[in-house]
Amino acid sequence: MEENTVRILLVASAFNSLTQRVHTELRERGHRVGVELALGDDLLRARVAQFGPDLILAPMLTSAIPEDIWSRHPVLIVHPGPKGDRGPSSLDWAIREDAPEWGVTVLQAVAEMDAGPIWASEPFRVTRCGKSELYRNEVSDAAVRAVLLAVDRFADSSFMPEPLDYDRPDVRGQLRPYHSQEYRRIDWSTDDTATVLRRLRAADSQPGVLDEILGRQYFLHGGHYEDRLRGYPGTIIATRDGAVCRATVDGAVWLPQLRPRRKPGGPATFKRPAADVLGPDLLAGVPEVPVTPFEASGRDTWSELRYYEQGEVGYLEFAFSGGAMSTDQCQRLLAAYRQACERPVNVLVLGAARDFFSNGIHLNVIEAAADPAEESWRNINAMNDLVEAILTTTDKLVISALAGNAAAGGVMLALAADEVWCRESAVLNPHYRLMGLHGSEYWTYTLPRRVGGDLADRLTRETLPVGARAAGEIGLVDRVAPGSAAEFRDWVCQEAAELASGSELADRLVAKKQRRAADEAAKPLAAYRDYELTQMRQNFYGANEPYHQLRRNFVHKVRPQVTPTHLLV
């Protein structure tokens, strides 16, 4: 083993956001990193023998690693709980109990689950949000700090991990049971809004809260406070942009997504916008209660869109569940963007204050459509309309601020702006091929313009995640800033204000208009769009295209038989 360089095999149940971030962070530090999905003990044994790791690291694992592996190789497990915490539902309990602080612990695999020697532990403040959002932000940040510390300690052969000892004052965790539906149940006739929100947030995005609505059983996904609407506890009192509002004993909450309970022997179900799942018959007589992005910014209510201004800077925030953007969501965002462009501001900042920027088209909504190919076509055209509007804005400086991850068309949406600012912890996946798509959103114009044709081809062909720092080094993004989501937002506001008041802004806008005109003269945007959509139409409507099966596998969470080849590097 070279000095300070470790050969690390990541073993994970899925190549999820945390695994991708750990993958990029370790590679950026010069470690040799391989990936193996936990798809079977024999497959894992074969991969370990083939890769020959110095260290096996499990960032996200829902099954045990065989004893014959951890007894021969050092295996470190990333557990989303403080020292001494044990069990499969750590974050669920933290949110249910409204814990102000939690932690991530890296411990060595032993026979007893989560009881091995401790290599590192990092605390974090628990933001009041859904479990998946907490996982992608505070948990991920703490996990990376703990993993990097543990790997450094592993490289230093003199370090001895700390045995788990509940007599130590800093070991405050405990063994907790699986957080089953018994603990998640909501009593709408007695539970107050705060209790309901904790139940909902602890189950987001999986497994959801099993509940009954109008005589039918559904899993509830996501929960947001409502500041004004009131009604009889348990009833659906309003809809908004696909979400439904349900009254509590002392207020109301918004439910963005539902998943029907699977019937015995029936097909698998998946999350969709709540109003789409319930349908017009069950929601007959329930009013649609809209809120404008400007109104939403001053209220404590659910809205996917918010708009506000600070001086000469406008902020258009969009936060879509899972980062996916349906046709309707793209159209609503486009309308809000056009309204923002009419405002007397010089700089316009796009992106959520925390969590996802965008992951492109909404595969779940497409899967549920009567004609998935036709809905795919509508969705990609709606994305293109939005990107085109940004690309052709010449009287404002537009900034994409990525507080969280982006993928596929969501990356290309960000690249439509004049500048891309990225939080250091964000992970980008600038490719489409894993879904069997050529891709659109004008990427054949914006991506080579930023990184050059050869690198654009490599990024889309290799289909590996790119960390924010690496993205900055290759020019995929313009600026990278460290810190939490809140610290990143403060930095964005400060830098945007300086741009808006700077003496060079007028010259930049003139240069922007000139460059857009020159680019249009050389090759019209319509030519890029036509070329891309010709390829996409074939992907959507052509015979023997892999897209539809790959989409079904993604939506229904079909596990691959073996680790995909693009991860075997």
CATH number at residue 253: 3.10.25.10
Looking at the structure, tell me whether residues 377 and 477 fall in a common domain: yes
Please check whether residues 319 and 259 belong to one and the same domain.
Answer: no
- Residue 76, CA atoms < 13 Å, CB-side half-sphere: 28
* pLDDT for position 569: 67
- Across the chain, mean pLDDT equals 96
Residue linked to tokens 């007959």:
284
pLDDT for residue 1 is more than 50? no
pLDDT at 264: 87
CA distance 546 to 434: 10
Radius of gyration of the chain (CA): 24
445 and 406 share one domain: yes
Determine the residue type at 313.
V
Residue 222 amino acid letter: G
Residue 95 lies in a domain: yes
Same domain, 87 and 22: yes
Domain count across the chain: 3
In whole angstroms, give the CA distance from residue 408 to residue 430: 5
Strand partners, 104: 122
Cα gap 135→354, rounded to integer Å: 12
Same domain, 202 and 104: no
pLDDT of residue 3: 60
Bridge partners (DSSP) listed for residue 419: 399
pLDDT (tens digit per residue) in 198-225:
999 999 989 999 999 989 999 999 999 9
**For residues 132 and 204, is the Cβ–Cβ distance under 8 A?**
yes
Domain assignment present for residue 276? The answer is yes
Of 182, 237, 190, give the one whose Cα is nearest residue 210.
182
Q: Which parts of 299-394 are beta strand (E)? A: 305-310, 313-318, 347-350
Domain co-membership, 116 together with 230: no
Whether 523 has a pLDDT exceeding 70, the answer reads yes
Neighbours of 516 (CB within 10 A): 15
Q: What is the pLDDT of residues 151-174, one digit of tens each?
A: 999 999 899 999 999 999 999 999
Q: Does the pTM of the predicted model rise above 0.85?
A: yes
Spatial distance between the Cα atoms of 376 and 519, rounded to a whole number of angstroms: 29
Are 489 and 403 in contact, with CB atoms under 8 Å apart? yes
List pLDDT tens digits, range 48-74: 999 999 999 999 999 999 999 999 999
Residue 171 in any domain: the answer is no
Q: Note the pLDDT tens digit of each residue in 245-265.
A: 999 999 999 999 999 999 888
In a domain, 565, yes or no: no
Does residue 265 share a domain with residue 317? no
Are residues 428 and 469 in contact, defined by beta-carbon separation less than 8 angstroms? no
CATH classification of the domain holding 548: 3.90.226.10
Same domain flag for 148 and 189:
no
The boundaries of the domain holding residue 249 are 181-282
pLDDT tens for each residue of 404-421: 999 999 999 999 999 999
- The per-residue DSSP string of 288-329 comes to B----HHHHTTSSS--SEEEEEETTEEEEEE--GGG-B-HHH
Look up the CATH number of the domain holding residue 12: 3.40.50.170
Cα angle for residues 131, 358, 336 (degrees, 5° grid): 110
Residue 162: inside a domain: no
| Spatial distance between the Cα atoms of 118 and 77, rounded to a whole number of angstroms | 10
Chosen domain end from 230, 251, 282: 282
Beta bridge partners, 314, equal: 309, 348
Inform me whether the pLDDT recorded for 138 exceeds 50.
yes
- Is 115 a domain residue? yes
Tokens encoding 565: 């080849």
Please report, in angstroms and rounded to a whole number, the separation of the first and last CA atoms in the chain.
18
In this structure, how many other beta carbons lie within 10 angstroms of the beta carbon of residue 360?
Answer: 26
pLDDT score of 2: 53
| Of the candidates 423, 418, 389, 393, the residue with the CA atom closest to the CA atom of residue 405 | 423
CA–CA gap between residue 382 and residue 334 (Å, rounded): 9
Q: Are residues 339 and 202 in the same domain?
A: no
72: Cα separation from own chain's centroid: 35
Residue 27 lies in a domain: yes
> Shortest CA distance to 437 belongs to which of 567, 314, 542?
542
Rounded distance between C-alpha atoms, residue 218 and residue 214, angstroms = 10
In a domain, 164, yes or no: no
Read off the amino acid at residue 378. R
For 109, other C-beta atoms within 10 Å of its C-beta total 25
The residue out of 282, 307, 329 marking a domain boundary is 282
**Shared-domain flag, residues 298 and 276:** no
Residue 487 has pLDDT above 90, yes or no: yes
Q: CB neighbours (10 Å) of residue 409?
A: 29
- 277 and 299 together in one domain: no
- Segment 11-36 mean pLDDT: 96
* The two three-digit tokens of residue 422, written as one number: 């990225």
Does residue 131 sit in the same domain as residue 78? yes
User: How far is Cα 245 from Cα 302, in angstroms, rounded to an integer?
Assistant: 9
Among residues 282, 315, 340, the one where a domain terminates is: 282
